[in-house]
Amino acid sequence: MAQMTYADAIRRALIEEMERDERVILLGEDIGLYGGAFRVTQGLVRRFGPERVINTPISENSFVGVAVGAALVGMRPVVEIMFMDFIALAMDQLVNHAAKLHYIYGGQARVPLVVRAPAGAGRGYGASHSQSLEAWFVHTPGLKVVAPSTPRDAHGLLKAAIRDDNPAIFMENKLLYGAKGEVPNPDEVLPLGRAAVVREGGDVTLVAYSRMTALALDAAARLDEQGIQCEVLDLRTLAPLDEEAILASVGKTTRAVIVEEDTRRGGVGAEVAAVIAEGAFGKLDSPLRRVACADSPIPCSPTLEQAILPSVEKIVEAVESLI
């Protein structure tokens, strides 16, 4: 099985899809010779040329709009936003156009667009370069939202997103880029909208996604030493959300802790909690718990940054409060 980093797995998926389909093009700031802010597209312009790996001006609203137009006329653009925070500049194109054109034109228009967005804190980048804004897009009908936690999932889910005829926001946590894992099958395309049980247990369900899945697994290992068996459910896709998998796991364990890096108020965790409350309330043996970022801008100070972010310790404490 091939071992590669999360960043390499994304690059591999881009190469494979660009070789498979000449309609796949890349757009973004410094994605050419520089290789992108996190070097994910390194070497691709030499391989495919500047007509398919397109450096853009610093104007997210403009080049996301170009990508929406390209998708409408048959291309399959993949846009890189340098930091997820900057996606706010393209909200009109994504929320009012890409997400709605298929509906507005009665299915005659399709927008096969992927927007890659490096998200998350932990590097001391501060309030405007560290956010996880996935809840904005989960709230928007017509957009798919993907948040892989491993190289294998990043590879297989990106291929699926590129082949999908609907616009997708593809979240890449910055601290995962160097994480290594197996990508056993270069042809594997993972289905969107399917969660995965990555650890089985019977006492409590830890629902997580993106980098928080690794923290949930670490917390589960620590709790195992106390005799507490945690099941870890990796959502992988936030829209569509695999409600069936959530309810099945919580119905089995009767307890749930939801872990997300986004801010707590109005986050994905709140939606998951509502799904559980509506679909499995009678099976719960304890209240739901959420572990999330504090409702605060992300500080630059490493000490303050770590204080407001989810951690293994906070997950363990939340589980202990239920058992």
pLDDT computed for residue 32 by the predictor: 96
State which amino acid sits at residue 14: L
DSSP string, 46-63: HHH-TTTEEE--S-HHHH
Q: What is the mean pLDDT of the chain?
A: 97
- Report helix, strand and coil shares of the chain as percent, to nearest 5: 40, 20, 40
pLDDT computed for residue 156 by the predictor: 98
Give the pLDDT band of residue 131 (cuts 50, 70, 90): very high
Q: Does 2 have pLDDT greater than 90?
A: no
Mean local confidence (pLDDT), 51-78: 97
Give the pLDDT band of residue 117 (cuts 50, 70, 90): very high
Name the DSSP class of 125: -
- Find residue 175's DSSP bridge partners: none
pLDDT computed for residue 1 by the predictor: 59
Which residue is it, tokens 């928080």?
212
Q: Which of 251, 173, 159 is nearest to 209 (CA)?
A: 173
> Within a 13 Å sphere around the CA of 212, how many CA atoms are in the beta-carbon half?
31
pLDDT in tens, 185-239: 999 999 999 999 999 999 999 999 999 999 999 999 999 999 999 999 999 999 9
Catalytic residue positions? 60, 129
Could you tell me the two tokens for 8?
């390499």
Which residue is it, tokens 């945690």?
230
Mean local confidence (pLDDT), 294-312: 96
Q: Does 108 have pLDDT greater than 80?
A: yes
DSSP string, 172-212: EEGGGTT-EEEE--TT--PPTT--EEEE--SSEEEEE-THH
Domains of the chain and CATH, by start: 2-183 (3.40.50.970), 196-322 (3.40.50.920)
